[in-house]
A and B are shown apart, each in its own frame.
Chain A
Amino acid sequence: MAFLELDGLTKSYGPLTVVKGVNLSVDKGKLVCLLGPSGCGKTTTLRLIAGFVPANAGEIRVGGKTISSAHSTVPPEGRNMSMIFQSYALWPHMTVFENVAYGLKLRRLPQSEVTKSVRTILSATQLLPLENRYPGELSGGQQQRVSLARALVIKPEILLLDEPLSNLDANLREEMRFEIRRLHDEFRYTTVYVTHDQAEAMTTADMIVVMNDGRIEQAGSPEDIYERPETEFVARFIGGTNILSGTRGDKHSVIGEGGLVLRCGSGSTAASGKTAVSVRHHDIELSSAKPKSADTNVTVGTVTRQIYLGSHRDYLVSIAGGETVRTVAPVNVAIPVGQEVWLHFPPEKCRALAQ
């Protein structure tokens, strides 16, 4: 059952429309990632859900009740949501305990209950020994956990996260990704998570929503998004890929500019005109001689760059028609620059893209 629904949601600032008719439904207890480059409208969408910005058109419904529409907006404090901010937004004049307790005090719970709930959430986030510290006395990772605890303690209907890990260093970021997923598995709040980091989205999300230019490009499970991208944008944004453009051969094949015919195991070509094929870097087989096993999806090219990266070698190969293909090969396949190589694009790894 859809719990959170966005229906034709639109937001403009003057002549600039940043969210353009977004439709999305999120089931109860699911973690959804809004993923996209900066300026794609994902943060504005999140702030629309939170009620910090009013919508120009469309609706937001939670459990069937409209909370945002063009005519009225329930203020953020009336939505029973919580949010984790990019800056953590910990109040510097309150201790860890006071920060976490603030939301409960607003709900006029008895002191004993407040203390009990705060202590419970602080131990779940391993912050109990730090409860009397001020935010300025905590490390980045600890501040992040306080921010999580403060958001979780009020048992929100919906939890919103706005690029929560972007201020952490690389190691801590990876650790916190799993921590967020663990807490989600434990508490099962309906969660909307905004990020521009695809690895973060892959680790945490039940559903990834790729946004571009104020619209949803594709929504689906991490596997869907990675293995079955529907547009060139999604293919490029998630994981490294080669986009080879050409014209339609038939429903499942594309004729490249140098005459290379690529049969595609999945996806569909555009009905007419230009179309494209996406092949991931590591799915292309590279060899110095013409592969015997395959007779289609094979072409010859010249190595223009080869880099040794320890675990593998990274190649740039230019093929007939002027396109450059990037691919990786095992360390023992060492072909010097300028030499001829054969590339095999396995049909089951080629995905035809209509747009």
Chain B
Amino acid sequence: MTSDIQVQALPVQGRRRSIDFSWPTFALLTLVLSVLVLLPLFWLVYYSFRSDTGAGATFANYIALVADPTLLRAYGLAIGMALAVGVLACIIATPMAWLVARTDLPGRRTIRMLVTASFVTPPFLGAIAYEILAAPNSGIVNIMYRSVFGLEASEYLVNIYTFSGLVFAIACFTFPYVFTLVANALDKVPSDLEDASSILGGKSMTTLRKVTIPLVLPAMLAGTLIAILQALTMFGSPAILALPAGFHVITTKIWSLFQFPPRLGLAAAAALPLLIITVILLRAQKSILGRKGYTVLGGKSGTPRITELGPWKWPAIAFVFCVLSLTIILPYLAILKTAFTGTVGDPINLSTLTLSHWRFVLFEFSATQLALRNTFLLGFLTATAVTAIALIVSYLVIRRSVPGSGFLGVLATAPVAIPGIVLGVGLFLSYANPTFQLYGTIWILLIAFMTIELPAGYQQMSSAFSGVHPELEEAGRIVGASRLRTLWDITAPLLRTSVVAAWCFVFVGTIRELSATILLTTANTKLVSVIIYDLNESGDLGAICVLGIILLAASFAVVFVANRVPVLGGSQMNTRG
């Protein structure tokens, strides 16, 4: 019997010594990622020590950085603004997250979905929405205020072109970070921890204070740090709201150093502290979230405890409605109204409804078509390239197929610490020179977007890879499939959904980018986000709103299509349970 079987043994056909591609791939990727990440940083540091007028190494830029009161003021205002945004976002988001996650508030799921969807709103579009609503002269709120009380044209109720207006407008679009982290943390606090407090005699307020809040405190702090970081490195909203108010934050100041006469060395020196602050904030966030003892273990501990609001229901609803109106409902209504009426101040009735802005944007305005084409082309290229790189890097890192592959992971994550504007400066210095001459082409933008989006793509792909048990691949190898064949037959189909998700994520992130773009774009390489910014300078809010709606519609459409088309792996995998 034994010998019979062995005679029949089926050898693997075409058994060849396959070439191991891991090393060349590893080397190539290390090179690509180093160029993407390290090169701009290198030139940034290099130029910060170069004089703008003559050759030679100098500390003049750093001296100017400390001595120049406008630069210091810009840093001071930026940090103050960012801290204020963090505090405000935390104050708005934490009670709201608690209401949504832990009480019997009606419509909890819808509220959560709305807040999550508001992530999609580009912050600069939000700032423009608030210009429409709360500019001192033309703002809808102020027009209504004047007409209700019959006041002079110089009177106004709210003014968004102020420091507090800027803080408010940015907080409206950064509070979802805090909200999502805190709400998720509250979901994970198992009810038995709170039950344990109750059984020992803790009243519900005591339990909330002593158990629940301390457990979500790390999430709160981490979310607040992200909000601070976002505010600090943001270019669009400050450029739209702070410049008319007559002050600079650091991002707009760096941008102004690029205006004629350009002071590149000073810009580089001014950008470096921003990079360092970002790294510090990210480290702080990581150490807060990484404290093991604080991490709440999910799983078997049952559903979270729900507090009954009772008579507090109505104030709670009013609070949530108020927050949602300010952050989502009013801005979107303002954008929609402006896109379909003649001017911002027009009342809404049949006679004022018009498609003139749409006609202007789509057919008359010469820059639109090029910008739309550039934007979607870059979105497509970036998403594809980033997903591909992230896929291979995470394979090498997670499967540890090459010693030292962990370094690739570090490189792929590093850009998360590089603010868009800093990267913009670095890339300008790297590629806008006689050797590369990439400035003025879309390639420099592609490089920028790839660098910016790499961490997000890598994070998604590597968590997807960790979800595929290595034994699934080994099972393929041992029955006779080569490494590549296993990747193709087994790993690829299992990752398809995640790949599509990562692609969409990167695409949506790319088409709304402004901070790095603003330094790298020229007349030939305009993008929709830049056009929106340009149009804002000329005050054409109707056209901006049309473009904003197009951007949002494209984002939602991409996500929708990716989830529905079975070839892309949308719902197909899920039905198989």
Contact = CB atoms under 8 A, between A and B. Distances in A.
Do A and B come together as binding partners? Answer: yes
Interface of A: 28-29, 50, 52, 75-83, 85-87, 89-93, 102-104, 106-109, 134, 136-137, 150-151, 154-157, 160, 187-189
B385 interface: no
A134 B575 CA distance: 11
Interface in B1-55: 1-2, 5-6, 8-13, 15, 18
B474 A106 contact: no
B300 interface: no
Contacts of A154: 10, 479-480
Interface stretch (B100-108, B220-228, B240-248, B487-495): B487-495
A134 B9 CA distance: 28
A150 B475 CA distance: 9
B472 interface: yes
Interface string B545-577: 000000000000000000000000000010011
10 contacts: A77-B479, A80-B9, A86-B471, A87-B471, A106-B480, A109-B10, A150-B475, A151-B479, A157-B6, A188-B2
Contacts of A52: 474, 477
A189 B478 contact: no
Contact of A134 (B474, B489, B577): B577
4 pairs of A and B residues whose beta carbons are closest in the complex: A103-B479, A89-B471, A89-B475, A76-B477
Contacts of A109: 10
B570 to A, nearest CB: 14
Task: Give the dominant DSSP class at B's interface.
Answer: helix
Contacts of B18: 75
A52 B475 CA distance: 11
A78 B12 contact: yes
A49 to B, nearest CB: 11
A82 B469 contact: no
Contacts of B485: 106
Given A29-B2, A155-B5, A157-B6, A102 B482 contact: no
Given A83-B474, A102-B489, A155-B8, A75 B482 contact: yes
B367 to A, nearest CB: 46
B475 A136 contact: no
Nearest to B482: A77
A91 B490 contact: yes
B401 to A, nearest CB: 11
Given A28-B6, A107-B480, A87 B469 contact: yes
B477 A75 contact: yes
Nearest to B485: A106
Given A136-B577, A188-B5, A83 B12 contact: no
- The residue among A28, A85, A151 with the most chain B CB atoms within 10 A of its own CB is A85
Interface residues of B, number: 33
B474 A76 contact: yes
A199 B349 CA distance: 84
B326 interface: no
A107 B474 contact: no
B481 interface: yes
B478 A82 contact: yes
Contacts of B10: 80, 104, 107, 109, 154-155
A251 to B, nearest CB: 42
Contact of B494 (A92, A104, A107): A92
Contacts of B469: 87, 89
B345 interface: no
B13 A107 contact: yes
A83 B480 CA distance: 11
Given A75-B18, A188-B1, A80 B576 contact: no
B207 to A, nearest CB: 38
A102 B472 contact: no
Interface in B460-509: 469, 471-472, 474-483, 485, 489-490, 493-494
A275 to B, nearest CB: 43
- The residue among B15, B472, B478, B485 with the most chain A CB atoms within 10 A of its own CB is B478
Given A87-B471, A91-B472, 6 more contacts: A50-B478, A76-B474, A82-B478, A106-B485, A150-B479, A155-B8
Given A28-B2, A155-B9, A76 B577 contact: no
A187 B5 contact: yes
Contacts of B471: 85-87, 89
A78 B73 CA distance: 68
A145 B310 CA distance: 55
Contacts of A188: 1-2, 5
Contact of B576 (A28, A93, A104): A93
Nearest to A151: B479
A91 B476 CA distance: 9
A108 B474 CA distance: 20
A92 B493 CA distance: 10
A80 B577 CA distance: 32
A24 to B, nearest CB: 20
A135 to B, nearest CB: 9
B406 to A, nearest CB: 14
A80 B477 contact: no
Contacts of B494: 91-93
Contacts of B482: 75, 77
Contacts of A156: 9
B476 A102 contact: yes
A187 B3 CA distance: 10
B307 to A, nearest CB: 37
B2 A82 contact: no
A228 B573 CA distance: 55
B576 A77 contact: no
B479 A92 contact: no
Contact of A106 (B5, B472, B479, B576): B479
A89 B472 contact: yes
- The residue among B12, B471, B474, B479 with the most chain A CB atoms within 10 A of its own CB is B479
A107 B489 contact: no
Contacts of A108: 13
Contacts of A104: 10
A77 B5 contact: no
A50 B482 CA distance: 14
A180 to B, nearest CB: 17
A157 B472 CA distance: 21
Contacts of A79: 478
A119 B485 CA distance: 25
Contacts of B478: 50, 76-77, 79, 81-83, 160
- The residue among A90, A93, A189 with the most chain B CB atoms within 10 A of its own CB is A93
A232 to B, nearest CB: 35
A86 B494 CA distance: 20
B1 A157 contact: no
Contacts of A187: 5
B479 A82 contact: yes
Contacts of A103: 479-480
Contacts of A107: 10-13, 480
A89 B481 CA distance: 15
Contacts of A137: 577
A50 B479 CA distance: 11
Contact of B481 (A77, A151, A189): A77
A219 to B, nearest CB: 21
